[in-house]
Amino acid sequence: MKHLIDIIDLSVEEIDELIAVGEDIIAHPADYEEKCRHKKLATLFFEPSTRTRLSFESAMLSLGGDVLGFSEASSSSAAKGESVADTIQTVGCYADIIAMRHPKEGAPVVAVRRSTVPVINAGDGGHNHPTQTLTDLLTIHRELGRLDNMVVGLCGDLKFGRTVHSLIIAMCRYSRVKFVLISPEELRLPEYLREMLDKQGIDYLETQDLEAAMPELDILYMTRVQRERFFNEADYVRLKDSYILTPDKLVNAKESLRILHPLPRVNEISVAVDDDPRAAYFRQVANGKFIRMALILKLLEVK
Amino acid sequence: MIIGTIKDGIVIDHIPAGRGMELYRYLNLDRLECEVALIKNAASGKRGKKDIIKLNEVIDLNLDVLGYIDPHITVNIIKNGERVQKMHPALPEEVRDVIKCKNPRCITTVEQELPQVFRLTDRETQTYRCIYCEAKAK
């Protein structure tokens, strides 16, 4: 029985297989409508997340399965002080597969120890969120037709953004990928990840200038820069607008550039960019459902 | 300062100066009934200063804890006033219930019955990380 806690639990071959199944689902959705008939997915959301939960539920319903679960800890037995391990063991008696989100980091590691059914980590605090990374990978593959040989720009909060960290870890495994890390000094990529890139001899560039970096990029992955992350207000005011993507900043970008964002956005991408064919973030949302369908099939070992 | 020699017991030598008390706590030596001497800042040929712990009884020592503090520590087993064994603890792959995760967002902060386990993730830098949240041991 396999679980998914961290993106590195999956080999490159397994990721390629999931992407292939995801693309087949998109091409032939009718072939998958009955694949999980009489199977149940439990969505255990100890912390609310409408987008991820609905994506998982929609994925299972599209496979012909059923869903049950809770959307916040207060409506679960966790509010009475039940441990994660006990909750998981109990739910394993009612469902065939579990997707769980928990505010505490490492909760899924505890969950899988006692689980009798596959567990998918749907986010544990600021730690891992592997299905977002799978979504990003499927999107890049669909948009550019490859996962290697490209320049990936990551912009905004690179320090605290878990989606950025996981995407870098996942994409490091493909050849000839260069990263352009665009962030204010305060929000640089953590040292351990820069060390990892150095050790693996992966090409990367750190800059504060989004517009200067733009012409080189094949992918631009935007994240939100939050005011509370800055040490002083003056720096925030100075830098906040430079990380808001507007149509004029895209003037020198490639036609083949694709813009991704894990969403929800606040103001870091102007709505004026939404109609640009290079804006892929809403297609990315749709891909999130398809890759979760592929993942559910894989973990349930449904052919 | 003179600390008497021991007939049967253990001498934990070459402890980095200033970390003897930490080791004393990790090894739960306060629970022992036998005589325990903690010598701080003893003269050391190699390092200038070192800490030493002497026990006048042979007990089962958690070598992983010693290896985690510093793999250069030596453990000498004394019988009838003679050293019969000298051990060098290795850098352990895992340390269990020795250090606590300091990450306030870690699952161990709310589920306190969970064992506190740290795993060696980089031998070169001797980095240990929590097996749950992957925070670095401090």
Edge-to-edge strand list for the sheet holding B74-79: B36-44, B48-55, B9-16, B74-79, B82-87
* A113: in domain: yes
Same domain, A25 and A92: yes
Same domain, A184 and A276: yes
| pLDDT value at residue A197 | 96
**pLDDT tens track, chain B, 138 positions:** 677 788 899 999 999 999 999 999 999 999 999 999 999 999 988 889 999 999 999 998 888 889 998 889 999 999 998 999 999 999 999 999 989 999 999 999 999 899 999 999 988 888 999 999 999 998
Same domain, A157 and A59: no
In A, minimum Cα distance to B111 occurs at A83
Same domain, A149 and A272: yes
| % residues pLDDT > 90 (chain A) | 80
Which range is least confidently modeled, A104-108, A183-187, A218-222, B75-79? A183-187
Q: State the DSSP string of chain A.
A: ---BSSGGGS-HHHHHHHHHHHHHHHH-GGGGTTTTTT-EEEEEESS--HHHHHHHHHHHHHTT-EEEEESSGGGSGGGGT--HHHHHHHHTTT-SEEEEEESSBTHHHHHHHH-SS-EEEEEETTTB-HHHHHHHHHHHHHHHS-SSSEEEEEES-TTT-HHHHHHHHHHTTSTTEEEEEE--GGGPPPHHHHHHHHHTT--EEEES-HHHHGGG-SEEEE----GGG-S-HHHHHHHHGGGSB-GGGGTTS-TT-EEE--S--SSSB-GGGTTSTTB-HHHHHHHHHHHHHHHHHHHTT--
| % residues pLDDT > 90 (chain B) | 74
Same domain, A30 and A114: yes
Cβ of A84 within 8 Å of Cβ of B108? The answer is no
Q: What is the mean pLDDT of residues A50-74?
A: 94
| Residue found under tokens 């306190």 | B112
Number of domains in chain A: 2
Question: Which of B103, B117, B132, B136 is the best substitution to test chain A (most A C-beta atoms within 10 A)?
Answer: B132
pLDDT class of A229 with cuts at 50, 70, 90: low
Instruction: Give the C-alpha separation, B23 to B27, whole Å.
Output: 6
Pick B133's closest partner by Cβ from A83, A84, A105. A105
Query: With left for phi above 0 and alpha for psi between -120 and 50, is residue A12 left, alpha or beta?
Result: alpha
Cβ of A105 within 8 Å of Cβ of B131? The answer is no
Q: Does B132 touch chain A (CB under 8 A)?
A: yes
Same domain, A277 and A187: yes
| Residue found under tokens 């199944």 | A21
Pick A104's closest partner by Cβ from B110, B113, B134. B110
| pLDDT value at residue A294 | 98
Pick B132's closest partner by Cβ from A103, A109, A126. A109
* A1: in domain: no
* A196: in domain: yes
Pick A104's closest partner by Cβ from B107, B113, B131. B107
Cβ of B111 within 8 Å of Cβ of A127? The answer is no
Please tell me the distance in Å from B96's CA to the nearest CA on chain A. 15
Q: Does B105 touch chain A (CB under 8 A)?
A: yes
Tell me the residue range of the domain where A167 lies: 131-284
| Residue found under tokens 């956005």 | A265
Please tell me the distance in Å from A296's CA to the nearest CA on chain B. 24
Helical pair A162-171 and A130-144, crossing angle rounded to 10 deg: 60
| pLDDT value at residue A277 | 97
| Chain B residues touching residue A103 (CB < 8 angstroms) | 105
| pLDDT value at residue A242 | 76
Closest CA to A243 of A275, A278, A211, A215: A211
Assign domain B9-87 to a CATH class: alpha beta
Same domain, A186 and A235: yes
CA A296, distance to chain mean position in Å, is: 16
Instruction: Give the C-alpha separation, B109 to B118, whole Å.
Output: 15
| Chain B residues touching residue A104 (CB < 8 angstroms) | 105-107, 109-110, 133
Chain A residues whose C-beta sits inside 8 Å of any chain B C-beta: 83-84, 102-107, 109-110, 124-127
Instruction: Give the C-alpha separation, B59 to B103, whole Å.
Output: 33
| Residue ranges covered by each domain of chain B | 9-87, 94-130
Asked whether the beta carbons of B31 and B59 are under 8 A apart, the reply is no
Question: With the CA atoms of A279, A280, A285 and A286 taken in that order, what torsion angle do they form, in degrees rounded to the nearest 10?
Answer: 120
| Chain B residues touching residue A109 (CB < 8 angstroms) | 107, 131-132
DSSP element (H, E) containing B121 = strand B117-122
User: What's the CATH number where A49 sits?
Assistant: 3.40.50.1370
Please tell me the distance in Å from B45's CA to the nearest CA on chain A. 36
pLDDT class of A167 with cuts at 50, 70, 90: very high
| pLDDT value at residue B34 | 92
Same domain, A101 and A197: no
Cβ of B111 within 8 Å of Cβ of A102? The answer is no
Q: Does B104 touch chain A (CB under 8 A)?
A: no
| Chain B residues touching residue A106 (CB < 8 angstroms) | 106-108, 130-134
Cβ of B107 within 8 Å of Cβ of A127? The answer is no
DSSP element (H, E) containing B99 = none
pLDDT class of A225 with cuts at 50, 70, 90: confident
Helical pair A162-171 and A191-199, crossing angle rounded to 10 deg: 10
Same domain, A136 and A280: yes
Q: Name B54's bridge partners.
A: B11, B37
Beta strands A97-102; A40-45: pairing state: parallel
Q: What are phi and psi of A31, to 5 degrees?
A: -65, -15
| Distance linking the first and last C-alpha atoms of chain B | 33
pLDDT tens, residue by residue, A106-119: 999 999 999 999 99
DSSP symbol at B106: B
User: When comparing pLDDT for A126 and A38, which is higher?
Assistant: A38
Instruction: Give the C-alpha separation, B51 to A204, whole Å.
Output: 45
Cβ of A105 within 8 Å of Cβ of B114? The answer is no
Residue pairs spanning A and B at CB distance below 8 A: 45
3-state SS string over B27-57?
CCHHHCCCCEEEEEEEEECCCEEEEEEEECC
Same domain, A275 and A146: yes
In B, minimum Cα distance to A83 occurs at B111
